[in-house]
Every structure is written in structure tokens, then in C-alpha cells.
Amino acid sequence: MQDAWIDNPKGYAGVLKGTLPFFVLVPAVRDVTEESKGTKSSPFGKLLFAILDTVTQEKRAKIEGILAEISKQMNRSGGNERVPLIADTEKQLNTLLNDFFIGCDLEIEFETPTLEVLLSAPKLYVDDGFRNAVENKGHGLQRAIIFTILRRYAEHITSSVEGKKRNLILAVEEPELYMHPQAQRTVRRVFRKIAEGGDQVLFSTHSSLLVDVAYFDEIIRLESICEKTDGKKTTASRAGQLPMARMIQDFETRFPNLRGNATHESMRELYSHAYNPRRNEGFFASKIILVEGITEEYSLPIYGDALPNCAFDPQGISVVECGGKGAMDRIFRIFNELHIPCYILFDYDSGNSDKNIIDKSKELLALAGESQDEPQALFVADGVACFPKKPAAVPPSLKTIIEKAVAVTWKKSCLQVSTFPAASNPAGAKGNGAT
């Protein structure tokens, strides 16, 4: 037997395309009229022509019969069935034409559309209380319709008659555009549903409503950094991501008696409760000031505006209230591990009989790299400010605290590394599409 080379009849490019995941990109700016066209190259058109392939011969014959009947009503082929006014108009035109060209016959003929032609010219209407063409609706609704068309098109492309499914990669630029807050949360849930179905979702966002901290390991923070070298300004991008394995290892190092009990689900549960959309603002900040309550969150920006070169917003600085000290360490860990400089401002609560509160104060000082000793007076450092007790009035040192907070820089990781390896795949761990 002699080996022989047989070319792949489908072509190698076709085979690879059928094997690799199907990629769909939704850019930030996209025209709904282009997506809803019935052409064979548009997603909506491909869906319509896929419908055509499923039409039975019986149904096709019935539709073609109706179209043929319309043709008879409009054209000469219909004989006496033709619309009288069309026949009369044609006769009158021929009478007038014969004044110029005797024996010349003018015929009015209407082209009867085929089923394929009908499918190529659809018009999408939306009734949200007022029925109108989709292109006349608001941009938020138009964008939702684009998502809907592309999602259904992707389902069609990635499915096969054999029941096999080709994976989908859905990439979306700024899905929050033109969406009100409730719709943004809905979009986030839809993306999660797609990911849990075995596909992958990648999206860029500037909205805190689309950041789901329960899946902190899927968040990739991109930051532009401007530097001057030899008098020349350069811009670089830096990406930060926090792997779940490192967080589990840190947790088990701090709580060795719980080693083996930390899972992906338990870590997501632990950290998701520390965040909300207001606190998620920190993911988009250049620097963060962590405070215990809403009083500091409200007042610090006002004092910052009153000080030279200390206004927060122009510098991308966010004040994040943590709802007390209980969640402050968790909020700090995630922000810090994404390389966001954080300044911690809290009360030590000296004299409090609750050991847990004092232990939390010591933990926060340690996270900032400072001594855990109880401060006898206001303690201000480069990364933390700690009052012995809650001040009764605005302290004169607030100016120093704000200046330190504005100047804070990122120093190092705060996660603890154990001498034993963290479990690579804890019990109950599940893989999901990245967001």
C-alpha cells in the first residue's frame, strides 16, 4: 500500500474556522440599520436565509402560489384577472404612443418578488408603547436590539444538526452606553448567563454597575501611565489581575486552621459582601482614600477642594466608604493587588471592650506596613492615618492627612505567602468565562 496525499475538500481555513471559537465583536459605535439589513452578509440577513432553508416544499409552494396570483392581478399574464385600472392605463398609453410610432406596443409589468427577495428586505419595528421603526428609537434600545440580533446569530452559527456546539467569544466595547442603571445590571446578568453556558464574554467598561466583585479574579484593570524619559513623554498601558489562587493562599496563611476549606465559591461570597456600586468606583480611580463612613466620604472632597493642589476629582481620586472597619481590609486587599494606591483613614477605637474591633484596627495598621501598637495620639503616615478615638471635631491635622492621601503611592503586595502550596483546584471550584 502506498501513501497518497488527499487535499481537504473543505480547505484548511474552513476546517480551522469550524474548530476554533466563533468571535463576535460589538464595537462602541454600531449602526442598528446595518445589523438589521436582510443581506446575506449581515447577521440578521444570515438568520433570515437560515429560516429559508427550513421552509418545507409544501409551504414554499403555497407562498409561491400566492406570489403568482399577485403577478396575475398586476400583469398581462393574468388576462381578465388583471386590475382594470392598470389595463386601462396601459391601453391609453399605447394609444398616445401610436401617434409617434405606429405598431409599437408598451407593456406595464410589475416584477413579482420571490421568497428570497422578500427575506432580503425586512423592516424591524418596535412597540414600546409607540410602534415605530427601530432606527427611530433611542440609542439604548437600539443597542439592546444589536445585542439580541448578534446573540441569536451566534447561537445559530455555533449550533449544528449533529448537536455539537461551537464555542462563542463575545467581545463588547462599553456595553453601558445609552443604558440606564437597571438596564446595565441586566446586561451584566445576561453576560454572566452566557459565560455560565460555556461561552466566553470579554467587555470593556467605565461603569461601576458592570463590575461584579464576586468574580474579582476575572477583572482586568487597564491603566495608562505617562512617563517622561530624556524630556520625551511616553504613554504605556499596565494591566492588573488578581488570581483566585493567590487570594485563597493568603486566606489560608492568615487562617491556617481553615486550610482546605476555602473554595472559589466561599471566597466570592466573602468578598462580594464588601462591595457595592458606589464602592466599585474605586476600580476606576487613580488613587483611593478608604474611610469608615459616609460622613468622611462626603466631607473629605470638600476639604480637598479648599486646599492647593488637593482637589480629588481632577486627579482621579475616589473616597470610598467601607461601612465601618469590618470590610475595610477586604476592600483594601483587592484594590491594592490591582496596583491602585490606597490611603486608609480610620479610628482605632481605643478602650473598646470588643476584642474583634481592636484586632481589626491592628490588622489595618499591619496592612499599611505600620506598627500594630495602640496610638496614644493621632498617627499619620504615608499610607495610613489612625485616630485613637473618633474625633469630636475637625482636627487641625486634617490638612496633613489630605496632603498625605493625595500623595500616596503603591508600594507592594499585601498578600501573605505561606510555606505550603495553595490548593490548585479547591473543592467546588468552577470555571467561568472572563468578563
What pLDDT does residue 52 have? 74
- In sequence order, the 6+-apart residues with CB closer than 8 A to the CB of 396 are none
| Distance of alpha carbon 281 from alpha carbon 345, whole angstroms | 18
- Stretch (H or E) spanning 299: helix 294-306
> What pLDDT, on the 0 to 100 scale, is given for residue 299?
94
C-beta of residue 201 within 8 angstroms of C-beta of residue 25: no
Burial class (CB in 10 A: 0-12, 13-18, 19+), 377: exposed
- What is the per-residue pLDDT for 233? 87
DSSP H or E run through 26: strand 22-26
Cell of 419: 510555606
Mind listing the pLDDT tens digit of every residue in the chain (435 residues)?
677 666 665 565 666 666 778 888 888 877 777 766 666 667 777 777 777 777 788 888 898 889 889 888 999 988 888 999 999 999 999 999 998 888 899 999 988 888 777 777 778 888 888 898 888 888 888 888 887 877 777 777 777 666 667 788 889 999 998 888 998 998 898 888 888 888 899 999 999 999 988 899 999 999 988 887 888 888 888 899 999 999 999 999 999 999 989 999 999 999 988 888 889 999 999 999 999 999 999 999 999 999 999 999 999 999 999 999 999 999 999 999 999 999 999 999 998 899 999 999 999 999 999 999 999 999 999 999 999 988 777 788 899 999 999 999 999 999 987 544 444 433 333 333 334
Q: Which amino acid is at 414?
A: C
Q: How many CB atoms are closer than 10 A to CB 419?
A: 5
Give the architecture (CATH level 2) of 16-36+124-210: 3-Layer(aba) Sandwich (3.40)
Full-model pTM: 0.75
Distance CA(284)–CA(183), nearest Å, equals 20
Phi/psi-derived region of residue 431, left when phi > 0, alpha when psi is between -120 and 50, beta in every other case? beta
**DSSP character string of 114-133:** PHHHHHTS---EEESSSEEE
Tell which phi-psi region holds residue 55, choosing left (phi > 0), alpha (psi between -120 and 50) or beta: beta
C-alpha span between 413 and 435 (Å, rounded): 24
pLDDT value at position 40?
66
pLDDT recorded at residue 426: 38
pLDDT computed for residue 208 by the predictor: 93
| Helix or strand run (H / E) with residue 356 | helix 355-367
pLDDT at 384: 96
Please list the residue range(s) of the chain that carry CATH number 3.40.50.300.
Answer: 16-36+124-210
Which secondary structure element, helix H or strand E, spans residue 224, and what is its range?
strand 220-229
pLDDT, residue 330, reads 94
